[in-house]
Structure 1
Amino acid sequence: MNGKTVDLFPGGNTSKGFYSFYRYILGQEEARRIICIKGGPGTGKSSLMKKIGAYFNEKGYDIEYHHCSSDNNSLDGVVIKGLNIAILDGTAPHVVDPVNPGAVDEILNMGDCWNEEGFKKYRKNIIDTNKEIGKTFKRAYRFFAAAKAVHDDLSNYNSEALNPAKLNKLKEELKDKIFTTPIGGYGTERHLFATAFTPAGIVTFVEGIVSGYEKVYVLNGGPGTGKSDVLDFISKEALKRGLDVQFFHDPLIPERIEHIFIPELNTALITSNEINKIKFEGNQIYMDNLLNSYSISKNREEIKFDMEMFYELLNKGLKTIASAKALHDHLETYFIPNMDFDKINKVTEKVISKLLKYEEEYLKEKQL
């Protein structure tokens, strides 16, 4: 029987550029093995990870698929839960190098599977295309930064209308509903993205992540309506009680939280917001009820202007990301003809054989 699968983003294209949470994919202390794959575009890194994920999923293991925000159909990592094994794309922009070589980490070089001579005539093309890709991403990030500036203005209108007493009352009510255990110890944190700006537009995996959670609270509202304050308050309360918390960050403003999950309580607090625009099932909380309606009404025209400008800039950034993906696809055409796919298949088989040995060790440990 197949195990469960979940899709995530370990990094994102944000208003602050590329933002990485790779260190949270699998910690060094808990990892049995972390394999860092090196190699250019089109060298089979994502395909290898997909094959290994599918293989161990069929064996009954739960699998995390960590997607690339610059190509959401490709993988940046795969985690085999239970075995505590991760395979990661270690190339730019999310460079991953061994932290504890041999003890935990190792490098898998896909460059061993290419014909180096075949690249010589494409040297200048590869260098020029890489430069163009870098420039295009920087342009997209400028559009996202401009969208964030407008977003800040929009947030100010809402935050000025927010009733602090009502917000505090909501936080305390949620705390009483969610927690029964006293304060003691400190839980662990894990930070990733559930939503990302991709060449396919805004892609979110939160519906798959939240499926199976028994208690789901949905915070509905635009920027500045207090959603982040509620998430920050509840997450700190959970951590103070020794509960582990999974944080999913905002794709526009990466230091801000979009959703939190508390697995031990089977509880999730998720936001329906101006970016994901999803109407989730669960206990609905409407943050607009905390706003002064007169304050919102008198600024209605400016709020409308900001909202239109925000989406115009955001969509321009998304289109620019799609342009970068087209350049990346072109870059792959220089690599694919020079790859030895028989070698790649053999490398995949070799990696699976190695992981099966780790599985043997794991099963022996369970019996002890």
Structure 2
Amino acid sequence: MKGNFKHFFPGGNTSKGFYSFYRYIMPQENARRIICLKGGPGTGKSTLMKKVGQYFNEKGYDIEYHHCSSDNNSLDGVVIKELNVAILDGTSPHVVDPINPGAVDEILNMGECWIENNFKDYRNSIISINKQIGKTFKHAYRYIGAAKIIHDDWNYYNLDALNFSKINVFIEDLKNILFRNTTVSVAANNRHLFATAFTPNGIVSYIDSIYKDYKQIYVLNGEPGTYKTSVMRYIYEEALKRGLFVEVYHDPLIPERIEHICIPNINTAILTSNEINKKTFEGIQINMSDYQNKLLLERSKAEIDASKQTFYMLLNKGLSIISQAKILHDELEKLYVPNMNFDKVEKITNDVITKILKYEKEYKNL
């Protein structure tokens, strides 16, 4: 029987530039082995990770695919949950170096598969394209940052119309429902990733692969400034006080904000349907607009509409520039691919699978 796949983004293109939660892919204290892949674009890193994931999924293991926000069809990491083994792309912009080399981490250099003599003709092109890619991402981040400023304006008008007395009652009621069978305990661990990202293919969300097995689903619906993130933050902190492990999925625009949380111990997911993911979820629907003063909203309608329009214009421009960066990256890959010995890549992939099978045998003998 095959295992399940879950999909995540460990890093994101945000209003603060590239933002990483890489350290949460596989914490050192939990890991049996973390393999860090080094090598340029087009050297087979993502393909290796996909093959390893598919192989162990066929054996019945649950697999996590951690996607690259700069190319969501490519992987930054793969995790075999039951074996506590991870393979990570350790190249820029998510540089990963061994923290506990030998004991936990090892480096696998895909550069060993290069035909080095052939690169001398492409040296200047590779340097030039890499510079262009860096400049293009900075350009995109400026537009996303500008979108965030307008988002703050949109947020302000909605926040101004909130009835905080009603919201506070709602939050307390929700807390009492969720944690009625729990008590305050030692603070638990938590994990932070993105479920949604700004990619060359637009706004992509993998939340459906994450929450699908949860029995209790709460959905917070509302525009920015309707207190969704504050509700999430409060429930997240209350769960930790009760010793409950929490998976936190962050907002791709403002990475400090929470987009979704999942609490496996009580089989509960709290999701937001918002202005970025624009998703519709089944579950207990909570409309945050019910806690707003409709008269105040109506008075600010023109300003809110103007902010919406400007926000999406700026964000879409940022997304289109990220797409341009992907085109440049594809050009870079074209310089590497012809200079790779893919027989060596295939051998390395098989060696990695063999190594993990050894870890599997050791794990079962414990």
| Counterpart residue number, 2:54 | 54
Deviation digits for residues 225-269 of structure 1 (CA, Å, limit 9, x no counterpart): 010110011111100000000000000000110000000111000
| Counterpart residue number, 2:298 | 297
| Counterpart residue number, 1:223 | 224
Which residue type is aligned with residue 105 of structure 2?
A: D
| Counterpart residue number, 2:123 | 123
| Counterpart residue number, 2:285 | 284
| Counterpart residue number, 1:244 | 245
Rounded Cα–Cα distance in structure 1 between residues aligned with 2:101 and 2:318: 38
Rounded Cα–Cα distance in structure 2 between residues aligned with 1:69 and 1:263: 26
Which residue type is aligned with residue 311 of structure 1?
A: Y
Rounded Cα–Cα distance in structure 2 between residues aligned with 1:91 and 1:128: 18
Deviation digits for residues 90-142 of structure 1 (CA, Å, limit 9, x no counterpart): 00000000000000000000000011111101000000000000000000000
| Counterpart residue number, 2:140 | 140
Rounded Cα–Cα distance in structure 1 between residues aligned with 2:333 and 2:4: 32
1:13 Cα deviation after fit: 0.3
Rounded Cα–Cα distance in structure 2 between residues aligned with 1:264 and 1:181: 10
Q: Secondary structure at the match of 1:243?
A: coil
Deviation digits for residues 271-312 of structure 1 (CA, Å, limit 9, x no counterpart): 000000011100000000111111110010010000000000
Rounded Cα–Cα distance in structure 2 between residues aligned with 1:95 and 1:89: 8
Which residue type is aligned with residue 186 of structure 2?
A: G
Deviation digits for residues 148-191 of structure 1 (CA, Å, limit 9, x no counterpart): 00000000001111111111111011111111211111111100
Superposition pairs of residues 64-103 of structure 1, within 5 angstroms? 64-103=64-103
Rounded Cα–Cα distance in structure 1 between residues aligned with 2:143 and 2:76: 24
| Counterpart residue number, 1:334 | 335
1:212 Cα deviation after fit: 1.0
Superposition pairs of residues 1-368 of structure 1, within 5 angstroms? 1-179=1-179, 180-365=181-366
Rounded Cα–Cα distance in structure 2 between residues aligned with 1:167 and 1:227: 10
Rounded Cα–Cα distance in structure 2 between residues aligned with 1:49 and 1:304: 44
Rounded Cα–Cα distance in structure 2 between residues aligned with 1:363 and 1:255: 40
Rounded Cα–Cα distance in structure 1 between residues aligned with 2:55 and 2:345: 16
Rounded Cα–Cα distance in structure 2 between residues aligned with 1:198 and 1:117: 34
Rounded Cα–Cα distance in structure 2 between residues aligned with 1:81 and 1:102: 20
Which residue type is aligned with residue 314 of structure 1?
A: L
1:325 Cα deviation after fit: 0.1
Rounded Cα–Cα distance in structure 1 between residues aligned with 2:333 and 2:234: 46
1:207 Cα deviation after fit: 1.3
Rounded Cα–Cα distance in structure 2 between residues aligned with 1:57 and 1:208: 15
Q: Secondary structure at the match of 1:192?
A: strand
Rounded Cα–Cα distance in structure 2 between residues aligned with 1:29 and 1:273: 35
Q: Secondary structure at the match of 1:82?
A: helix
Q: Which moved more, 1:181-190 or 1:279-288?
A: 181-190
Rounded Cα–Cα distance in structure 1 between residues aligned with 2:188 and 2:300: 42
Which residue type is aligned with residue 350 of structure 1?
A: D
Rounded Cα–Cα distance in structure 2 between residues aligned with 1:161 and 1:116: 63
Q: Secondary structure at the match of 1:259?
A: strand
Which residue type is aligned with residue 329 of structure 2?
A: H
Rounded Cα–Cα distance in structure 1 between residues aligned with 2:148 and 2:256: 13
Rounded Cα–Cα distance in structure 1 between residues aligned with 2:188 and 2:224: 28
Rounded Cα–Cα distance in structure 1 between residues aligned with 2:108 and 2:119: 20
Which residue type is aligned with residue 115 of structure 1?
A: I
Rounded Cα–Cα distance in structure 2 between residues aligned with 1:20 and 1:164: 33
Rounded Cα–Cα distance in structure 2 between residues aligned with 1:350 and 1:277: 43
Q: Secondary structure at the match of 2:365?
A: helix
Rounded Cα–Cα distance in structure 2 between residues aligned with 1:47 and 1:228: 36
1:89 Cα deviation after fit: 0.1
Q: Secondary structure at the match of 2:348?
A: helix
Rounded Cα–Cα distance in structure 2 between residues aligned with 1:321 and 1:315: 10
Q: Which moved more, 1:205-214 or 1:86-95?
A: 205-214
Which residue type is aligned with residue 100 of structure 2?
A: N
Where structure 2 has 5 or more consecutive residues not aligned to the other structure, the ranges are none
Rounded Cα–Cα distance in structure 2 between residues aligned with 1:116 and 1:163: 65
Which residue type is aligned with residue 198 of structure 1?
A: T
Rounded Cα–Cα distance in structure 2 between residues aligned with 1:346 and 1:56: 17
Which residue type is aligned with residue 218 of structure 2?
A: Y
Rounded Cα–Cα distance in structure 2 between residues aligned with 1:184 and 1:348: 44
